[in-house]
Structures are given as C-alpha cells and as structure tokens.
C-alpha cells in the first residue's frame, strides 16, 4: 500500500468512510460498455449503410474498424485501460458471421456466435439492443407505431427475436442479459393524433414481451427519449409513456443521461422511479444542448446520478451502461474517457460521508449538512482512484493515453 493512499485512507476514516470497503464494492460492479462507439453505430449487416432513425454521428477520425475482429481488438484495448469488471452491450446490427442471409425479424443467436465465444473467453456478460433503425422498413422513421400492420409485425418479430437472442446470451454466459428496447418513432412537426401511435406502441410491446423468459438469463428494459432528428415535435416513446409501461408491466426502466431536457436533474428521478419499477438501466452519457450523446465526464451531472444510486441503496437494482458515440476524436479514447468517468463517479459516491450527512440532516442541522457536503469535495479522492486502477492492473492518472496514441499510429493509421 503506497503512502499517498495510506494518507487518503486515514483522512477518509476521520470522516467515517472506509476506503477499502468502497474499493471492494467498486471492484464487483460491472460496467456495460457499448460496442457502437467503436464504429459510429454502423454495424456489419451492410457495410457502408447510412445511419438513420434520428441518430447522427459527427466526425471522421481515422481508424474506424471495418470488421468484427477489428472492432473487438479496439474494445479489448479500451477494456485494458479502464479499471473494473466489464460487460459488452451489442446492437442487433452487429451480426457476425457475414453475409447475413436472414432479415432482422428472423435473427438468431447463431448470427452472434463469434461474440458469444469472445465474451466467454473473457468471462464477461453480454447485453443486447434491437436495432429499430437503419433499415429499409424503417425509412419513414416509424417501426412499432407504424400504421401499416405488416410493417409493425416485422418490427414486433424483430423484438421477439432479439429477446430470444438475449436469453441465449444469458444462458450460455451464465449472467442475465439486459435487452433494451428503444425506437425512434415520432413526428417532425405537430401531430394531429398523439394517441393512436402510443396505443399501437403499447400493443406492439405487449406482443414482444408476451413470451415469458427465464429472468436468470434475460431481463427486459424500455428506454424513453425527449426528441430526435425527424421527431422534434413528438416522440411516441416519451418518458411518461415508458414510465407508465414499465410500472404496469414490471420492466426495467432505462434512464439515458442524454434523453432529457438539459435543465432536468436526472438523479432526482431515481428514487421516485424505483419506488414503482423493479430496476433501472442507467445509460451514462452527456447531452449538450440536445441529445448529442457526448462522451461523459467526471462532472456534476454524472456524479449526481451515481450519488443517488448509492445514497438510496439501489446498486443491486441498477444496471450500469454507457451510451454515446463521437467520431470526432479517437474512438478508443472516447470509450476510455467515458468508462473511467462513470467509474470515478461511482467511486466518488461510495466515498461520500453519507453517515455524517444523514446524521446532520436527521437532526435538522442543514447548515452542517451543506458545509460537510462542500468540504467533502476536497477529500483526497484521486489517491483512492489511483489505488483502484493499480489494483485492477489498469493505468493510473493520464498514463492510459500513450498506449492509445501508439495503437493509433501502429494499427488505426493502417485502416483505410
């Protein structure tokens, strides 16, 4: 144990915080890293396909992976530079092997065999996401709410297929797969009928979730959104819609940090939502003025989000994941920055002197509560973070950046 960490441990102990306990908890919590940051959500169904469905990735940083093997190599580097246990979140468009001889409504786990084998070899779990965009049958930006019954049926069958794939991931890897449903459906301008699309959406979701699956292998989540490109005026799957759906159907509810108005306090929603739903999937992201999915930082918003999870004792009901994509910077570095920021925020929450704060609060001494909250911000957090990195065989401080730069010169620069 180095002297810097020893001093930090003693300092935190004076505040009633056991750093060893915090490090032990942090080392047990997996972070689900999203595959799509690596290639701007292109996937491998049809190389060169155009991203749509209200989604957009800006930037053309060189070195984008062209094959599943290249993407997996990039992910492995990001994992090695990000301390703590990981999972990988896949989108359905990342099928492998190719070429794909089935359409999305008939996908099976066999199309993800290489991902299963890869995950098993690394002893990590997989999470899954149906891809309700970038497809000819989603060209109008409508899927589960489409007024055409046949189109709606196609996307229902895609959702059913994806739940079965997720369950197979969970069965083979021995850890439950969270299958998260998000759709882009909405309206660019003011709709005359907000009710009918939501009625069709509820009916479609009920059909997707009708088949009971073993919760040891499969967990279902639904994700809302404020708006998107092409759905600026109306989104069928709004926060209110999916919150009601998750409560009445007992599903996990997905809170994406970029899917709400910038002035909303996302952390404030956690204890309210978890009073009524079985669990949460948190997508750690960073919205800038709109749902831009910027790389998350160790900022007040991210810290506040994880503080509420820890303060409420919700860790066992919360699944942590990332969701952002930025092609303007080195994509591997974006993964590492975001993953380390999320885990820093979680460690910061675990190191908060909650007992002291709650004691002051329960005594009605709000002056002391506020004073201690402020003073706790300058406790020697960095020394505890560096200790965690070293124990996890990951680089401490900024020493993770040179390996990324070297990989960029040696590997990424060769991709054309």
> Domain count of the chain?
1
**Residue 189 lies inside a defined structural domain of this protein:** yes
CA torsion 331-334-340-341 (nearest 10°) is -160
What residues pair up with 298 in beta bridges, in sequence order? none
Q: Is 323 a catalytic residue?
A: yes
40 is catalytic: no
Torsion of CA 233, 237, 238, 242, to 10 degrees: 170
pLDDT of residue 53: 60
Which CATH number fits the domain that encloses residue 211?
Answer: 3.20.20.150
Which range of residues forms the domain containing residue 165?
29-350
Question: Which residues in the chain come in under a pLDDT of 50?
Answer: 47-48
Q: Is 96 marked active-site?
A: no
Whether 131 contacts 43, CB under 8 Å:
yes
| Residue 288, φ and ψ in degrees, nearest 5 | -125, 100
Considering the candidates 36, 118, 155, 182, report the single residue annotated as catalytic.
182
Catalytic residue among 91, 146, 251, 259: 259
Active site residue 372: no
pLDDT at 322: 98
Q: Residue 289's pLDDT is what?
A: 79
Residue 40: left (phi > 0), alpha (psi -120 to 50), or beta? left
Question: Does 280 fall in a domain?
Answer: yes
| 364 falls within a domain | no
- Among 72, 55, 48, 206, CA closest to 133: 55
Catalytic residue among 225, 239, 251, 294: 225
Distance CA 25, CA 2 (A): 20
Rounded Cα distance between 119 and 87, Å, is: 8
Catalytic residue among 40, 185, 291, 307: 291
pLDDT number for residue 367: 98
Mention every residue, 6+ apart, whose C-beta is less than 8 A from residue 393: 83
End-to-end CA distance of the chain: 46
Q: How far apart are CA 410 and CA 6, in angstroms?
A: 39
Among 86, 91, 269, 283, which one carries the catalytic annotation?
283
Helices (H), ranges, 46-148 = 68-80, 113-122
Q: Active site residue: 223, 307, 308, 326, which one?
A: 223
- 396 within a domain of the structure (yes/no): no
The label of the residue with tokens 């290249």 reads 70
Strand, coil or helix: 92:
coil
**What sign does the CA torsion over 252, 258, 259, 264 have?**
positive
Told to judge if 223 belongs to the known catalytic residues of this protein, a careful annotator would answer yes
The three-class DSSP label of residue 4 is helix
Residue 315 lies in a domain: yes
Is 146 tagged catalytic? no
229 phi/psi in degrees, rounded to 5: -65, 120
Active site residue 259: yes
How many residues belong to the chain? Answer: 416
Specify if 314 maps to a domain. Answer: yes
Q: Which helix (H) or strand (E) holds 163?
A: helix 149-173
CB burial readout 376-398, b (16+ within 10 A) else e = beebbbebbbbbbbeebebbbee
Asked if residue 68 belongs to a domain, the reply is: yes
- Confirm whether 122 is domain-assigned: yes
What is the gyration radius of the CA atoms in the chain, in angstroms? 22
Exactly one of 293, 308, 352, 387 is catalytic; which is it?
293
Two tokens, residue 174? 């021995």
Q: Map tokens 């935190």 to a residue.
A: 12
pLDDT digits (tens, 9 = 90+) for 329-364: 999 999 999 999 999 999 999 999 999 999 999 999
Per-residue pLDDT at 242: 98
The Cα 44–Cα 292 span in angstroms is 23
148: Cβ contacts below 8 Å, ≥ 6 apart: none
Give me the phi and psi of 148, to 5 degrees please: -80, 120
Nearest to 204 by CA among 237, 243, 178: 237
Q: Give the model's pLDDT for residue 47.
A: 44
Q: For residue 146, give Cα distances in angstroms to 137, 140, 153, 250.
A: 10, 9, 9, 25
């Amino acid at each position: 144990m180095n002297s810097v960490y020893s001093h930090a441990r003693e300092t935190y102990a004076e505040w009633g915080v056991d750093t060893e306990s915090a490090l032990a908890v942090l080392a047990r919590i997996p972070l689900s890293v999203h595959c799509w940051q690596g290639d701007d959500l292109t996937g491998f169904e049809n190389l060169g396909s155009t991203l749509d469905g209200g989604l957009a990735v800006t930037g053309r940083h060189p070195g984008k992976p062209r094959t599943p093997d290249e993407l997996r190599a990039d992910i492995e580097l990001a994992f090695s530079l990000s301390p703590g246990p990981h999972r990988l979140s896949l989108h359905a468009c990342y099928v492998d092997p190719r070429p794909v001889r089935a359409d999305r409504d008939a996908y099976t786990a066999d199309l993800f065999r290489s991902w299963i084998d890869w995950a098993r070899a690394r002893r990590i779990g997989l999470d899954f996401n149906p891809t309700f965009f970038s497809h000819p049958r989603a060209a109008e930006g409508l899927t589960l709410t489409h007024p055409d019954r046949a189109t709606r049926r196609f996307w229902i069958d895609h959702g059913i297929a994806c739940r079965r794939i997720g369950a197979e991931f969970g069965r083979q890897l021995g850890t439950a797969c969270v299958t998260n449903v998000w759709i882009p459906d909405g309206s660019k301008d003011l709709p005359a009928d907000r009710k009918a699309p939501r009625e069709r959406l509820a009916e479609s979701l009920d059909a997707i979730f009708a088949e009971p699956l073993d919760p040891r292998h499969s967990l279902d989540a639904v994700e809302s959104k404020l708006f998107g490109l092409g759905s600026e005026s109306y989104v069928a799957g709004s926060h209110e819609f999916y919150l009601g759906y998750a409560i009445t159907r007992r599903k996990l509810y997905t809170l994406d940090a970029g899917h709400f108005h910038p002035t909303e306090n996302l952390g404030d929603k956690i204890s309210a939502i978890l009073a009524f739903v079985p669990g949460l999937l948190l997508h750690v992201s960073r919205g800038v003025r709109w749902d831009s999915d910027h790389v998350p930082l160790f900022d007040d918003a991210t810290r506040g989000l994880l503080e509420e999870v820890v303060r409420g004792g919700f860790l066992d009901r919360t699944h942590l994941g990332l969701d952002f994509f930025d092609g303007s910077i080195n994509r591997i570095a974006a993964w590492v920055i975001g993953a380390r920021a999320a885990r820093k925020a979680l460690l910061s929450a675990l190191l908060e002197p909650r007992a002291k704060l709650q004691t002051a609060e329960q005594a009605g001494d709000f002056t002391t509560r506020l004073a201690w909250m402020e003073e706790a911000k300058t406790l020697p957090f960095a020394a505890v973070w560096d200790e965690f990195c070293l124990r996890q065989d990951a680089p401490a401080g900024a020493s993770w950046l040179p390996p990324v730069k070297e990989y960029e010169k040696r590997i990424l620069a060769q991709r054309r």
